[in-house]
Structure 1
């Protein structure tokens, strides 16, 4: 099966550019594809809080309630702030555009670089967490976590290469099934609490004194719980993916996501506290709650399967937002231009493939350990959170539109809270997040180098009044030959059509073949000069390069151009290539960067 046929089977037939409008998302599909990351964090947000409190002991678990309230306050502030960002910047770009336009180039690049890394972490964390949920229900698979996670990434990558609308249509069902499953779990759990039918579970009463508990640990638990807010910014980055009116639909989707996220996170945290759930290495908190409420029944497995699905598919938020952010950076010349090219299915396929490959690498490096990845994940998103809020404060203060004081106060509250969380993360988890201080400057440096290159290229390509191309007085054509064949004859005919001076060059590995070639050439084309070079070390490319160097130097002195014609035969079937040496390709690669040498390939196609 050829590669093109396999590509069509996996990705589908190419779409016309005119079909781009059909690839826009309505609110229900957008909620599924762009909110899956934020909604999925319900599955591990509460667990991250309990993991910190577990270091104090069972008595400290009641603090999960006030910590959850703090997370909800931050959620409200972020939703209100990002509503304003969407209306102010309806073309997408989110924190990158806001920071760049209002705080300067480097602030924008820090926000953009943080989000790019964060989306890679989104995929790695989500898929790893989904794999953990599967192995919690089926412990026999636990040792295969990394392989299972990588296969999921490949699957989601292929889905996204098929197009935004198609992937959204498929992924919407698991997302809404997860919301239904958790709603059933929370509703049933609260009903049992209300009716007193919760067995003899013991939980620490709210307000119980906990010896040894410090503000530092509470702040660490709060910062861990803030991992439930990752993904909130994705909608602001992907506004162009919405159907018109795109900004209005994006804001409504953001609001729906905030309400659902708040209800689910609150419900799971309350149930975990009331049922006295403690985090375990081999079973998630949601799995324990479901087991307590329903036992190991069909409903339990339904909850586990949907939880695993949304955790895996939450990676799709990264696949939806990463390519669009990469496009914004590439348009501004901070990333390679290949990221601006739409693929066969009208998606930005280069960004999708890059994200998939980087995520797989990360899963291998961290061995699928989500607990190790989540702190980096949270820092990666709270940096652009803080920068975007600060950028909006400056925007409102500078432009002073109608109701600017109210708008600025919302972003000011958001900036203060997100900066506080960011400082807490760095203070309490520095040993886990210190690498951010190294790789972010490196990323910004790379962005500047890429833009510097594009600016240099533009400067060199730009026409000016004094520019006049120098016309060579003659063309010296060098034709490497391996014998007297149809390939050489074909190339020689072309050489005579473009050159005034033609030199055939033959590299011999022994004196006998050198002499035979000279005799054959004399009989074949005595009118064309043949230069034979004896290569004592059986090297083909190096002697040719030295000869071309000499001709190039002489050509420059006499204002002649030098053209190297490389004969190359084209096999009928691609696998035939492995049966032939690739000396023509090697020579072309060595000559490609010569300043004053033109390299031309003359193909000779085989019929069988």
Structure 2
């Protein structure tokens, strides 16, 4: 095993056979952290976005936060109920893409796919950036280095996911469950202290006031404030991101797949809704203050701004500090668990994005390489592609969640809305062919659920588009359009290639003749091997071809050719400008014109070397020739290898038995 292979095995793990795919399927307890970590983690930043948006109008606008949270909880329950129908009706892993394609047509399916692709990339960027911010608030040494921390997090997640879904799920299960338990404990203890223990103390930011922006200086009300409430609602809907990933990941569940996926969705909806709404309520109870521009908007009791030295902690961090003010380990556990879940939340995208990419590749809308499983039966190319785009976004937006989240949500609700419309049509089509009364009742109930989901998500989509378009959502929409057109172009290319490769009557007939050309640079062993191989192939005609640079050298070669009595005619073409590739191409092209029905086979002698630096000293001309000849119709190119001594030694080194790791420790030693 070479160094490169050893590093790969250490990073990825041992190879798995294709027959071991069933061993990678997930039970519900592992599927929950794998597919639900994104919506679960969003409760750590979606309440912040509600308060940050409302802070534009000052502290008075905070009174609307719990009402917005209530509406978001309502939307979450509607979406979860709708998707429970999806995962049981469509279990192939296509999710929203499959639902929209089958029921609404290919263009609708591509619209969903483009929205999901953009959303998955944003999921990784937003989650990892938020985790970097939480880490910065907990450990001061990381403050100001959020971009480096976020990029490192993406690289770490990529490495873990390359080891396969089951191993990544096992690795993420403990932090996810620690987050769920610690957050539920914080919320329960907070309410217990408030309603039974005499009340919670105020947050450390409660003494601050918030300076409203100009349109709200005179108070709340009017069209501008109504628009602000809609913006806050749209930003808070980040809680719903990741729900669709379970629909895309149904094949990864253990049987019965649909039932297990639906149960996981129900658990996810209940926990995420409870936590998100509770955090909003507790933030109001403890008078948390948080602003988009804390340095200028947050004012001390004396009316002076807090300044740029002030570090604004997220809401969950402030709540944990207040609720566990007599139990410091509780604050530490919640903060660390929140940072970890935000880091691991991107794992939802790392499981959904590659699966969707493989399905699109199978349908010829994406490069076929995305449908290739790696050594650990994961879609490695899709994982690497997702990591690349996420890192690019993190660097471009400086790992700032508030800037990134403006691009978020749009793709989610595009896929939600089209998927629910497709499901309504799915149940309607089934009802036309069903006469059994009990089955019709079940189908009608499912159609009603999906119809309700369509109306709710459609309204939210309109709100999101109106309120977030000018705040950055146009970038996400533009990206979706580009991905949509790119997928159309890829499908067009594959269709054209398939059409060109169809067998016609003329493809069955044999060529008139085969004319062989052996390229000769000098008379040596590689040339003799190429001549022998060309002769044994029995072409109709054969000739050797050399390009003359120096007449004296050419004369000497021809004399040696005659001395060896080589039974192949040697053709010499002149090159007054000392070119090699162009004269050969011109000669081959003239032969093709003279006999278009003939096939020309060009034999090129090549050195095989064993060291990387030797490759730089040989074969450059052969590579250029091959690259040009491959584009000529009716021309076949054959490389005839000749192994130098270094290649033989390299082969011997590779064939030697090497001690495996731990052999010496176990007492097994070579001779």
With normalisation by structure 1, the TM-score equals 0.93
> In the aligned structure 2, how far is the partner of 1:371 from the partner of 1:506?
67
The alpha carbon displacement at 1:509 in A equals: 4.5
Q: Are positions 1:221 and 2:232 aligned together?
A: yes
CA deviation after TM superposition for structure 1 residue 183, in Å: 1.9
> Which runs of structure 2 are paired with 1:72-151 in the superposition (5 Å)?
72-151=73-152
CA-CA distance at 1:52 after TM superposition: 0.5
User: What's the counterpart of residue 306 of structure 2?
Assistant: none
Distance verdict in 2 for CA 1:136–1:482, change over 3 Å: farther
Q: CA deviation at 1:579?
A: 4.2
Question: Do the aligned partners of residues 81 and 505 (structure 1) sit closer, same or farther apart at CA in structure 2, a change above 3 Å counting?
Answer: same
Shift of 1:444: 2.3
Flag the 1:535–1:286 CA change in 2: closer, same or farther, 3 A.
Answer: farther
Aligned to 1:312, the other structure's residue is in SS state helix
SS of 1:429's partner is helix
Q: 314, 339, 356: which is aligned to 1:284?
A: 314
Corresponding position: 1:577 with 2:615: yes
Q: What's the counterpart of residue 298 of structure 2?
A: none
Report the number of matched residues.
601
1:469 to 508, 511, 532: 508
**2:37 is matched with which residue?**
36
Contact 1:92 1:239 in 2 (8 A): yes
Is 1:271 aligned to residue 282 of structure 2?
yes
Q: Which runs of 5+ in 2 are unaligned?
A: 210-217, 295-310, 432-438, 650-671
Unaligned runs of 5+ in 1: none
Counterpart of 2:531 in structure 1 is 492
1:239 aligned residue? 250
Q: Does 1:349 align with 2:380?
A: yes
User: Residue 551 of structure 1 corresponds to which residue in structure 2?
Assistant: 591
Q: In structure 1, how many angstroms separate the alpha carbons of the residues matched to 2:545 and 2:283?
A: 81
Q: CA separation in 2, counterparts of 1:532 and 1:128?
A: 66
- 500-509 or 479-488: bigger deviation: 500-509
Displacement of 1:9 in angstroms is 1.3
Shift of 1:533: 4.2
Structure 2 residue 403 is matched with structure 1 residue 363: no
3-state SS in 2 of match to 1:566: strand
Q: Does 1:541 align with 2:581?
A: yes
Deviates more, 1:473-482 or 1:343-352: 473-482
Cα shift at 1:336: 2.1
Contact 1:555 1:562 in 2 (8 A): no
| Correspondence for 2:499 | 459
- 1:170 to partner: Cα distance: 0.7
Question: What SS does the corresponding residue of 2:56 show, helix, strand or coil?
Answer: coil
* Cα distance, 1:520–1:448 mapped onto 2, change above 3 Å: same
**CA–CA distance in structure 1, aligned partners of residues 17 and 322 of structure 2:** 53
Q: SS where residue 110 of structure 2 aligns?
A: helix
Task: Select the residue among 313, 328, 342 that pairs with 2:344.
Answer: 313
Change (3 A) 1:77 1:532: same
Deviations 1:389-424 (A, max 9, x none): 111122222322522333222222211111111111
Q: How does 1:48-67 map to 2 (within 5 A)?
A: 48-67=49-68
1:298 aligns with one of 321, 326, 329:
329
- Aligned match of 1:251: 262
* 1:119 shift after superposition: 1.0
Of the three residues 605, 622, 630, the one matched with 1:567 is 605
Aligned to 2:357: 326
The root-mean-square deviation of aligned C-alpha atoms, in Å, is 2.3
2:480 counterpart (417, 421, 440)? 440
Closer, same or farther: CA 402–563 of 1 in aligned 2, 3 Å: same
Match of 1:198 among 197, 200, 209: 200
Whether the aligned pair in 1 keeps the contact of 2:202 and 2:288 (CA below 8 Å) is no
- 1:23 positional shift: 0.7
Shift of 1:271: 1.8
Does 304-313 or 429-438 show the bigger shift?
Answer: 429-438
Residue of structure 1 equivalent to 2:12: 11
Deviations 1:142-164 (A, max 9, x none): 33222222222122112111111
Report the TM-score when normalising by structure 2: 0.85
Per-residue deviation, residues 48-90 of structure 1 (Å, max 9, x unmatched): 1011001001111121100000000000100110001111112
Q: What secondary structure is seen at the aligned counterpart in 1 of 2:360?
A: helix
